[in-house]
Amino acid sequence: MKKVHEGIYQLVTPFPEYRRQEAYRLREELPHNPHLTKGLPYVLPYFIVSRGDNLLVDCGWNTDDAHQALQEQLQELGSHPREVRNLILTHSHPDHCGLAGRLKAEAGCTVMMHEREVDFMRSRYLEPDELLKRMHEWVEKHGVPVEEQTWMERASMPVRHFVSPIEQPDVALKGGEHISVGDFVFEVVWTPGHSPGHVCLYEPNHRLLLTGDHILPVITPNISLHPQQSDNPLADYLESLEKVARLKVDRILPAHEWDIDWFQRRLEEMRAHHEERLEEMLRAVGTEGPVTAADVARRIKWNTGPYDELPFWMKRAALGETLAHLRYLVGQGRLREFEADGRVYFQAV
C-alpha cells in the first residue's frame, strides 16, 4: 500500500497491461463529539477507479469539513465529488451514509444499498418520531427507569443533523450481485448483524474484502438488539462471519482503524471475543432470580467505564449489545426470557 497524499493510500498496483486500475483509501475526520462517534476519530471511504468508471464506498458524516476533505482528496486523484458515478453504502449509520443525499444532488450518482437498510434509514432520519416513541417503550420494558429516558431523545436528535438522507436508493441490493467498475468486479456479500442490511464487497482478482464495520482490526462492532433489528442479531452476525470466512482474502479494508492482512486470525479473535462475552453475560444474570437487560448491563465490564457513568449514546449501545447477547443465549436454550408486569426478564435455565 503506497501513500500518495496526506490521508490517501493506493491499495492496488495497476496491472501493467491496464491503463488505469486503482483503489484508494480516503480519510474523513468525524465530528469532535465522543458522545456521537464512540471514540472513533475518522471513517475510511474507498474510491475505486478503472477505465473511466469509478465507485465510492461509503461517504462520511454530512458536515462541511467532511465534504471538503472528500473534495480535496478526490482532487488529488484528478477527480471531484461531482464526478462520482456510483456510491455504495455498506450500511446506513451516519458516519457511512451522512453525505449520501448531498452527493446524489451534486453528482447525480447511482446510490446502492441493501434493501433492509432502506426502512432503517427512513425511520431514523426522515420519519424519526414514531421510532423515538418505540425506543422509549423498548428501553422501559428492558429495565431503564422513566427518569433516565431523557437520554434517548438527547441521543437521537443530534445525529439527524449529520445525515443528508436519500429517499430511496437507485439500486436496492439483496446480496450476491456483482458490481463492475472497469476491471474490478465486486461481489456484494450481505453481512447482517451490526445493522440489518450491512454489506461487504469482495474483489476476488485482488483478493480484497471491503468490510465496512463488519470486521475491524482492533475493536469489535456493536451488535445491538433494538426495534429495528432482527430477533437475534448476534446469531446473524456470527453466521455472517462464517460466510466471509469461506472467501479467499489477502487483505481486508475496513471503514475504521486500518487495513490488515491477517484475515483468518482476526476472525478467530472475534469469535473468541463473543464466546467470552456470552460467558460474562451468563455470570451477570446469575442464578438468584430474573433480571432485566439493564440490570445485566450494570454488572458487565465495559471498556469505556461503568454503565451508569457512560454518556447517553454509549449507554444505549451498551444496553442493545447486552440484549443481543442475552437473546442469543435464549436461542441456545441457556437462558429463559419472559415478560411480566410490562417488563422483560431473563433467568438462568
Phi, psi of 253 (to 5 degrees): -120, 95
For the segment 62-118, what is each residue's pLDDT rounded down to a tens digit? 999 999 999 999 999 889 999 999 999 999 999 999 999 999 999 999 999 999 999
Q: How far apart are CA 62 and CA 39, in angstroms?
A: 18
Among 3.60.15.10, 3.30.1300.10, 3.40.50.1100, 1.10.10.60, what is the CATH number of 2-283?
A: 3.60.15.10
* Residue extents of the structural domains in the chain: 2-283
Q: How far apart are CA 261 and CA 297, in angstroms?
A: 34
Bridging pattern class, strands 53-57 and 86-88: parallel
> By C-alpha distance, which of 15, 71, 16 is closest to 47?
71
For the segment 30-52, what is each residue's pLDDT rounded down to a tens digit? 775 544 445 577 899 999 999 88
Evaluate whether 58 touches 124 at the Cβ level (below 8 Å). no
Answer whether residue 27 shows pLDDT above 60. Answer: yes
